[in-house]
Chain A
Amino acid sequence: MDIDITTSGSPVRLVLRGALTIAQVSGLTRRLDTIDATAPVVADLSGLERMDTAGAWALVTLRTRLEQAGQSLEISGASDQLVSLLKTVTDALPQPETEARHPTTLRTRIEAVGKAVVQTAQFLLALISFFGLFLARLARAVRHPSEFRLTALVHHCEDVGLRAVPIVALMSFLIGIVLAFQGSSQLRQFGAEVYVVNLLAISILRELGILLTSIIVAGRTASAFTAAIGSMKMREEIDAMRTLGLDPAMVLFVPRILALILMLPILGLVSDVMGLLGGGLMAWVDLGISPAMFVTRLVEGTDISHVAVGMIKAPFFAVIIGIVGCHAGMQVQSNAESLGRMTSSAVVTAIFAVIVADAVFSVFFAQIGM
């Protein structure tokens, strides 16, 4: 590219030679910006080999600038193709418009906080009404058993329960080992190693067994529910169901949530047993507490109420996970991004809600002295 600008005299002469493409446009605009809009400009393009829209844009921008200052740009020596390109670019030259920007003031910030609070409240209300819907459909299923999807329930029980057994069992076993090991090294300092059995029993049976199981299930199942229902929503399958007289709540939600309610206590029990097994093994290896001794201490030192406290929580956690997962699935819109977003948000919400509920239960049981 070769640019000659002769500023002496009027009009200013601008001679362009060579190629004028997007690769040269930065240099070109820098040179063109030096032209003062005080005199008309004549541009000679006869030596131009190539020009693309970027080059044409630079010339058209110059012309606009000159015309705004009351001057003009005359183009000479351009081929027909260049003329038509210049015309296309002139016609298409965007008119920048800006949307009115709202400055951030104290008022808008307070407004944002208020909106967030209202949205959270609406989300909670939506979850509660979803729970209500589930109960209503469950009651309907009891009155009209023919509408209930038994096959779907069994399928989801397998998916939610049976297939989760290996990971839940392994996790609890390892947690038991860790607890026993860490507990024993602390208790050994004042010669109370044998109390490691009580430590294991109470922490696993009351809290850890069911809580960790629920967290795993929330990650595994809530996301699966959201993804399955969300992709059906995306492909308008849910709308198709409605037009065919099928109730999505009865067909999709009831079997899923019910399967969770049935399976989570069983998974919790598996987790308890495996946790104690792992702890017992560690106690035997590390502290020399024999299995018989372990069992004796376990039965003597642990009240059945600990198991009850743990197990009572299971159905509540199951409902939370199921409702959150199904509700998030129904919020999916017709694009793939919202499916991914809702799936991850379902997992986060479900885990968070389970932990909050666990904290509430702890306070509750402490108050009633269990």
Chain B
Amino acid sequence: MNQTPENSGREVAIRLRGIRNQFGSHVVHDDLDLDVYRGEILGVVGGSGTGKSVLLRTICGLQTPSAGTIEVLGTDVRTADEDTRVDLEHRWGVMFQDGALFSSLNVRENVEVPMRAVAGLDPHLRSALADLKVSMVGLPYLAGDKFPSELSGGMRKRAGLARALALDPELLFLDEPTAGLDPIGAADFDTLIRSLSLSLGLTVFLVTHDLDTLHATCDRIAVLAEKKVLVTGTMNDMLQVDHPWVHEYFHGPRARAATASADELAQTGQKER
């Protein structure tokens, strides 16, 4: 958000080259390349077991690849020293599938956790800023006092998002943001991600299964298959791809329903204008 957008949208935020991940003899990624541009929302899709979440964990440093280079915001993650890495970690936020909130802290304290790393921040300011983040993700004020076990699944995800946004990261990683939400909650979450990414200028790396999310939020889509990123492009590009899995994914009955509803939305939007 704070950088001057030189050749806007084409500046690379995440650059992966030749990534190889394997568990024992099971190879998940082999020679995988991917670029994520600054300011875009990239949706990563793929069948179960194609290593979407593994890829996300690899970029955040939770999983060490056996080969390849990872460059995030201009820093090589694997060769960076400790201090550089810590600085980098303050520039990204990760939302895990079920929020991954600390169960012994309430929501406000959870959001304050990353803020504690900021030197010289008054405690009452910190909690006021935490309240702001809680409210920005659409949670009611009193939710800040609640513990994760007292929240519904959708609220936990929102609280997890608030914690990921605590330090105004440039990069946001979302793991299955809409999984397990009802359609209304999922649509709300899509809108929330879209509007936050616009107003905060976020780059979003989003792993999902949800075709509606792809339609509603993502600028670009990357398909994981055959151990690499098979194809990247916009939704329209995806519809042209011949690969059987990709074709099945974007032309199946669910995909047709999602496309239809997205078209409908676009039309009503135009009429209103």
Residues in A lying within 8 Å of B, measured CB to CB: 19, 21-23, 25-27, 29, 49-54, 57, 81, 84-85, 87-89, 92-97, 99, 335-337
Q: In the complex, which residue of chain B has the Cβ closest to the Cβ of A52?
A: B168
The docked-state distance in angstroms from the alpha carbon of A53 to that of B131 is 12
Q: In the complex, which residue of chain B has the Cβ closest to the Cβ of A333?
A: B149
B100 CB to nearest chain A CB (Å): 13
Given A51-B2, A94-B132, decide whether A23 and B118 contact each other with a Cβ distance below 8 A. yes
Are A21 and B199 in contact (CB-based, < 8 A)? no
Among B122, B135, B142, which residue has its beta carbon within 8 angstroms of that of A99?
B142
B229 CB to nearest chain A CB (Å): 30
Are A54 and B129 in contact (CB-based, < 8 A)? yes
**What number of residue pairs across chains A and B have CB atoms under 8 A from each other?**
78
* Chain B residues within an 8 Å CB radius of A51: 2
The docked-state distance in angstroms from the alpha carbon of A254 to that of B125 is 57
- What are the interface flags for B102-120 relative to A under an 8 Å C-beta threshold, 1 for contact and 0 otherwise? 0100000000000100111
The 4 closest A-B pairs by CB, nearest first: A50-B2, A52-B168, A88-B199, A94-B135
B44 CB to nearest chain A CB (Å): 26
**Interface size class for chain B?**
20 to 34
A59 CB to nearest chain B CB (Å): 12
- What are the interface flags for B80-103 relative to A under an 8 Å C-beta threshold, 1 for contact and 0 otherwise? 000000000000000000000001
**B262 interface hit (Cβ, 8 Å):** no
Are A21 and B168 in contact (CB-based, < 8 A)? yes
Are B141 and A22 in contact (CB-based, < 8 A)? no
* Chain A residues within an 8 Å CB radius of B134: 94
Are A22 and B200 in contact (CB-based, < 8 A)? no
The docked-state distance in angstroms from the alpha carbon of A94 to that of B145 is 14
Are B199 and A93 in contact (CB-based, < 8 A)? no
* Chain B residues within an 8 Å CB radius of A96: 131, 141
Are B129 and A25 in contact (CB-based, < 8 A)? yes
A6 CB to nearest chain B CB (Å): 25
Query: Which of A22, A26, A88, A99: most chain B Cβ within 10 A?
Result: A22
Given A57-B128, A85-B199, decide whether A26 and B141 contact each other with a Cβ distance below 8 A. no
The docked-state distance in angstroms from the alpha carbon of A89 to that of B132 is 8
Residues in B lying within 8 Å of A, measured CB to CB: 1-2, 103, 115, 118-122, 125, 128-129, 131-136, 141-142, 145, 149, 165, 167-168, 195-196, 198-201
Given A25-B121, A53-B168, A95-B141, decide whether A85 and B200 contact each other with a Cβ distance below 8 A. yes
Given A88-B200, A94-B131, decide whether A53 and B121 contact each other with a Cβ distance below 8 A. no
* Chain A residues within an 8 Å CB radius of B145: 99
Q: In the complex, which residue of chain A has the Cβ closest to the Cβ of B148?
A: A335
Are B168 and A92 in contact (CB-based, < 8 A)? no
Are B129 and A57 in contact (CB-based, < 8 A)? yes
A-B contacts, 14 of them at CB < 8 A, read A21-B168, A22-B121, A22-B168, A26-B120, A52-B168, A57-B129, A88-B199, A92-B136, A94-B135, A95-B141, A96-B141, A97-B142, A335-B103, A337-B103
* Chain B residues within an 8 Å CB radius of A52: 1-2, 168
Are B149 and A335 in contact (CB-based, < 8 A)? yes
Among A22, A29, A87, A99, which residue has its beta carbon within 8 angstroms of that of B118?
A22
B165 CB to nearest chain A CB (Å): 8
Given A54-B168, A85-B199, A85-B200, decide whether A26 and B121 contact each other with a Cβ distance below 8 A. yes
Q: In the complex, which residue of chain A has the Cβ closest to the Cβ of B139?
A: A94
Query: Which of A92, A93, A337: most chain B Cβ within 10 A?
Result: A92
The docked-state distance in angstroms from the alpha carbon of A27 to that of B120 is 9
A271 CB to nearest chain B CB (Å): 39
Q: In the complex, which residue of chain A has the Cβ closest to the Cβ of B166?
A: A22
Are A53 and B200 in contact (CB-based, < 8 A)? yes
* Chain B residues within an 8 Å CB radius of A50: 1-2
Q: In the complex, which residue of chain B has the Cβ closest to the Cβ of A27?
A: B120
Among A26, A29, A53, which residue has its beta carbon within 8 angstroms of that of B133?
A53
The docked-state distance in angstroms from the alpha carbon of A362 to that of B201 is 75
Among B1, B120, B122, B167, which residue has its beta carbon within 8 angstroms of that of A81?
B1
Query: Which of B119, B129, B134, B198: most chain A Cβ within 10 A?
Result: B129
* Chain B residues within an 8 Å CB radius of A99: 142, 145
Query: Which of B119, B196, B200: most chain A Cβ within 10 A?
Result: B200
The docked-state distance in angstroms from the alpha carbon of A51 to that of B221 is 30
Given A87-B199, A99-B142, decide whether A57 and B121 contact each other with a Cβ distance below 8 A. no
